[in-house]
Chain A
Amino acid sequence: MNKEMKNLAEWSIKTAKAAGAEECRVNIDSERFVQISYHQKKPESIREASKKELSLQIFANKRYAGQRTSDLRKDALKTFITNAVVTTKLLAEDPFRTLPDPKYYKGRANINLEIFDKEYEKLTPEGRHEIVKTIENSVLQRGGKKIITVTATEYDNRYESVVMTSNGFFGYNEATIYFAGARVTAQGVGDRRPNGYNFVASVSQEGLPLPENIGQVAAERTLDLIGGKKIKTETLPIIIENRNVRRVLGGLIAGMSGQRIQQRQSFLIGKKNTKIASDKLTIIDDPLIQGGLGSRLYDRDGFAAKKRSIIDKGVLKDFYVDWYYSRKLGWEPTTGNPSNLVIPPGKRSVKEIMKDLGRGILVTGFIGGNSNSTTGDASIGIIGKLFEKGIPVQTVVEMNIADNHLKFWQRLSEVANDPWIYSSWRTPSLVFTDVVVSGV
């Protein structure tokens, strides 16, 4: 517990109330990070700094405003808070803006989420350089002469936050995060220079793959892109690789936002407890996974975090509704944003599934694209491997898939056994049938 941060939060609330706020929430965030990149076997950039910022949400005369500052000197802060209250009172009244009912703060899990790496302080500057050097060397070793250039990177961050409200909420969070990876360019056919990458994240250094493995995978993923071309427009089964599922799933999750529903910008309005996907799709929001990148004991409103079923065998079970939009909608609140999203893994590997499918495309990357949360229409470019009889035969690029989410997720035919654990969205590879892949 950082007492200095807690005392500052307490003082900020007292100051806000003295200035005329009826209610307020204070967040204080403090972090220190280091980022090192290597290129051509020497440091390309070393970046290191500390940050501390205070955010204030003011509720005054049924009005609301939010402010953020990095100037934490007491005299400056006092003026800041006083004036924030004055600003708030100039806005239009909004009776839905209040702090949450404190009953939702209760029931916080009494567990250690293990999102702070106790070994963090042992990471030395030399150790960091060694990690990055190893990643770069393993790319070069695995990729050989085909590699034109590599940039290997390590980033680590130690983060603390205090949240306090005037109606009794207090939360303290201490976490670490590590990123490591490499961006690689290889010599392709003609002028083409395929860029590949491999980046992984974890709350602990131990949770990352070995640097050698990170580099090898980066090299292999880049070499796999050589010779890419587009093929004829065709209806095919596709497998979206585990690490890339988030890009497509994000369009579906966006429709579950309470804000979008209340603002009539969601294609999922009126779809609760209806079937919006095939039986194969189950999504659980689990904030209490130990060591999870999205783990938390409380959400942005201060609600005690709970495991929730979002989609169960294709049936939409819940929306992401925060306190404010729950009041506007007249609904019971859930939580405003996802924590760890888990799609329970299936039984078979991607290789086994490819063998069974015969001909299809394994999607290993996306390009461009977007999703319309109001209508559910989506279109996105794909990069991947055409496989025949289960064996990759051609790298494909400059191709596209387009559909409406309400139809697309009905095509989900299988979930593989390979959840991607280096993200808060723990998604296995997903198999979709009868997808129009447009190309030549």
Chain B
Amino acid sequence: MDKLINDLKVQIIAQLNLQDIKPEDIADDQPLFIEGLGLDSIDALELIVLLQQQYKIKLSNPSDGPKVFYSVKTMAEYITANQS
């Protein structure tokens, strides 16, 4: 899980063009949206693309988004649960 979380931080930074941020700046439990990294609706769509491209998981229902993408940790848990 730790390696996945670290990989995810690197991938999120690259996918969302968060150029001023380093992986160690993102806490595992930190909310990604609203406060925290202040991501918006387009960033959420990019995270859906990230899931598909890196982990072959398709999130077809955008309303699951807020739960899955709440923090890096919840993303990692979702990936672990849904990877075949």
A and B are partners in one complex rather than unrelated chains: no
Q: Which residues of B are interface residues toward A (Cβ below 8 A)? A: none
